[in-house]
Amino acid sequence: MKVDVIKSLFLGNEVRTLSWVRIPILTKLSVMVAGFQRYTLRRFVGVVTFIRAFWLSFSGH
């Protein structure tokens, strides 16, 4: 059964089903990527702010 599904995906026999399945997966993926980028950006900014504050307090002494 899996082989038939893969075959139909590669041969493009069921284009309607493929597009119907692929579009939600793509939107989910893009949402995940966007959330991951936002998360990493926020984390990076937090780390930089922490290092800067630590360096300021360290060099202040």
The residue type of 25 is I
pTM of the predicted model as reported, rounded to 2 decimal places:
0.41
Q: Where do the structural domains in the chain lie, given as residue ranges?
A: 2-60
Q: What phi and psi, each to the nearest 5 degrees, are found at residue 12?
A: 75, 30
Angle at which helix 15-60 crosses helix 2-11, to 10 degrees, equals 90
In angstroms, rounded to a whole number, what is the distance separating the alpha carbons of residues 33 and 38? 9
Check if the beta carbon of residue 15 is closer than 8 Å to that of residue 21.
Answer: no
pLDDT, tens digit (0-9, with 9 covering 90-100), for 19-59: 666 777 778 888 888 888 888 989 999 999 999 999 988 88
Radius of gyration of the chain (CA): 23
